[in-house]
Structure 1
Amino acid sequence: MAEESAVKVCVRVRPLIPREDSAASENAEPVHYFWKYDAKSIYQSDDGNSSKSFSFDRVFTPEETTNQLYQAIAKPLVVSSVQGYNGTIFAYGQTSSGKTFTMMGSDRFPGVLPMAVEDVFQTIKSCPKKEFLLRVSYMEIYNETVSDLLVDSWKRKPLEVRETINKTIYVADLTEELVTSHAQVLAWIRKGEKNRHYGKTKMNERSSRSHTIFRMILENRERSDPASGENADGAIIVSHLNLVDLAGSERASQTGAEGTRFKEGCNINRSLFTLGQVIKRLTDEGQK
């Protein structure tokens, strides 16, 4: 988010979930943590002594809410996207670590995605001298196949990822719906979530079995002022805001995955490894 780096990495520490809490109670032993953290680092510990440390741009505690996380790291990107800059926010981590909860939230506690959508429209209201055109798309990558979450299942087909002569990557035939309100966008998100692949594993009752990318395409230009006779130059600025919920990395020995679930897990891990290499490359480029 800061100007000095193209990539920022933050960690959210979640509390124990019921499955973990009940396991600890059944063993009648206190839970032992082999790590500790502060505002920007996590320390791996062994017998009370720190052996390794990992630095991040920010570490959020279990007591901090999704709204606090959003205000600190996501909102600046959302606002800048309305101003014409591209931005991407994604959740990465082990299965059952709370990625989808952070990104999507619940009826009571909205996640990053619905809060971002609301702020896009609120920010647009503060730009009366500009006019905007907004479109949204929602895609899923399941077992290395890209599909459109905004079309009905009986119409859905594998989509191809292509490259233009200008080296721009795009997904052919992906639906882009024109939207004019916060409620309209949320309705498309709900439709997409119904079409998404979920499954049950030992570590997660409702495990995301695919990666999803929700994209808002924002076009803006200066308004002409009939009262003063000033005409805008007509230049259109296009920006993209990508909100990504990645499937969790997993080990078959822990999830109990077999058959289809095992295949899904292998494809998830393979694609996450590739993503890791891309991010490493971006980080290395930013440090040169």
Structure 2
Amino acid sequence: METNEACRAANIESPLSNHMQEAEGAEATVAPERSNIEICLRVRPVPDPMEGIHVDKDERTVRFIVPRSINQGLTNNQREAYQFTFNKLFPANSTQEEVFDGVARDVVLESLEGINGTVFAYGQTGSGKTFTITGGSERYEDRGIIPRAISLIFSTIAKRTNTTYMVQVSYLEIFNEAGYDLLDEEREVRSLEELPRVHVMEDENGTLHTRNLSLHRAATEEDALNLVRMAARFAHGFVWLEIPEGTFSTCD
């Protein structure tokens, strides 16, 4: 079984701190403290489920059993069980819609009210981050968080006839601690390293600003999706949808 973590952040006031507490029987539990950051776990389906891993959707926990090894008659006194608790847990049979509704829907809607929000996927190679964030290409229901977020933004603002919105899209790739603008239109490039480098700067108030990151206006849902497809010629990235008084971003 492989796992893929998706994290949500909105109006962050304090950093999340996880702490380990030892329980009886050499067990350990990791539980997130109350925070504006939610830690969600999505379990990737695998052909052969592994023994010793127990997923409890109702309790939002994953429990790992690691039998103690005996070497030359000596018992290893290492912990035998580890249990991790998350804000939300999506088992292997979860749909893309269920993941989006549970992780990103509220963040998107809050961004339209002026509250910045971020959703990003974290996990090892092959754990399903790209599928969760971008989605599959064969079936409409396999759309990931980015296209679903774009659709929700435009469908919501279309109903608010008394308010005028402007949506702008940026697409930033972070590779080896360097940022690149994947939507640069000023030159023909063949590799990521040929793209403009994006620099992040902090002002005297502690606010972060980006330099060399282009903004592209998207008047329709299709405009925004085309920009995302254009940037997808390169690898994984950080999509930034900017709406006056609020932003929504995703990272893969």
Do the structures match in fold with TM over 0.5? Answer: yes
1:35 aligns with 2:70: no
Residue number among 51, 64, 69 corresponding to 2:94 in the alignment: 64
Shift of 1:148: 0.3
Gaps of 5+ in 2: 1-7, 12-33, 68-78
CA contact (8 A) 2:61 2:85 kept: yes
Shift of 1:157: 2.3
CA contact (8 A) 2:197 2:212 kept: no
Which residue in 1 is equivalent to 2:37?
A: 7
Letter paired with 2:247: H
Per-residue Cα deviation, 1:182-229 (whole angstroms, up to 9, x for no partner): 100010001111033xxxxxxxxxxx5xxx21001102xxxxxxxxxx
Measure, in 1, the Cα distance between the counterparts of 2:106 and 2:188: 35
How many residue pairs get aligned? The number is 201
Shift of 1:132: 0.6
- 3-state SS of paired residue (1:215): strand
CA contact (8 A) 1:153 1:195 kept: no
CA contact (8 A) 2:168 2:216 kept: yes
Instruction: Give the TM-score, by structure 2 length.
Output: 0.74
Residue number among 174, 193, 213 corresponding to 2:232 in the alignment: 193
Map 1:227-238 → 2, pairs under 5 A:
238=245
Q: Are the structure 2 counterparts of residues 160 and 13 from structure 1 closer, same or farther at C-alpha, using a change threshold of 3 Å?
A: same
Letter paired with 2:50: H
Measure, in 2, the Cα distance between the counterparts of 1:53 and 1:94: 19
When structure 1 is superposed on structure 2, of 69-78 and 110-119 the one drifting more is 69-78
Letter paired with 2:239: F
Larger fraction in strand: 2
Per-residue Cα deviation, 1:3-52 (whole angstroms, up to 9, x for no partner): 96210001000111xxxx4xx7xxxxxx53221111210101135x9711
Instruction: Give the TM-score, by structure 1 length.
Output: 0.65
Letter paired with 1:214: V
- 3-state SS of paired residue (2:44): coil
Residue number among 105, 122, 127 corresponding to 2:135 in the alignment: 105
1:174 aligns with 2:213: yes
Q: What value does the CA root-mean-square deviation take over the aligned residues?
A: 2.3
CA contact (8 A) 2:196 2:212 kept: no
Q: Are the structure 2 counterparts of residues 10 and 153 from structure 1 closer, same or farther at C-alpha, using a change threshold of 3 Å?
A: farther
Letter paired with 1:215: W
Which residue in 2 is equivalent to 1:259?
A: none
- 3-state SS of paired residue (1:84): coil
CA contact (8 A) 2:171 2:181 kept: yes
Measure, in 1, the Cα distance between the counterparts of 2:44 and 2:198: 35
1:46 aligns with 2:46: no
- 3-state SS of paired residue (1:188): helix
Gaps of 5+ in 1: 25-30, 197-207, 220-237, 246-288
Larger fraction in helix: 1
Measure, in 2, the Cα distance between the counterparts of 1:110 and 1:213: 17
Residue number among 157, 178, 187 corresponding to 1:124 in the alignment: 157
